[in-house]
Amino acid sequence: LVGLPGRVVAGRVPRAPTDPPPRPLLPTAASVLISCLQPVPAQTSITIAPQSPAVGGDVSLAPQPPPQNFLACRWFRSANTDENRRIFNYSPNTNPAQTNGLAHTGRETAGPGCALNIAGLKLSDTGNYTVQVVTAGDSPIFRV
């Protein structure tokens, strides 16, 4: 991730059907969610686990390869870094390490390697997510 300022990986998670939970997202949603629509030369991407998230289940989004020696990462529930859509800042060397933003619902936590973990998935979680990784030299932005 270091040395890739301004490089972006983008994608959109389509809306899932409104059937009662738990119901897996449509296969097309999972395939779009896990694919990189604009891969960057360093092959940076956002991975999703599990690959077919279900309403009511949990999901983890993580930049790959995991960033090394990062100062902080900031997750947003949008296609850009709009501060009003910030889920949290995660700075592993501060106390507290996670500082929640306006878009935090109480179900999101930071995980290893700048991962975003969302518990108890809801249809309203469908959409764009952006992570900004802050290092000593730059702050590349990646989207899914």
Provide the β-strand partners of residue 110. 116
Assign domain 27-143 to its CATH superfamily.
Answer: Immunoglobulins (2.60.40.10)
Tokens for 57?
């289940």
51/33 Cα distance (integer angstroms): 8
Q: What's the mean pLDDT when you consider all of the chain?
A: 75
130/133 Cα distance (integer angstroms): 10
State mean pLDDT over 61-82.
92
Confidence of residue 45 (pLDDT cuts 50, 70, 90): confident
| φ and ψ of 124, to 5 deg | -70, -10
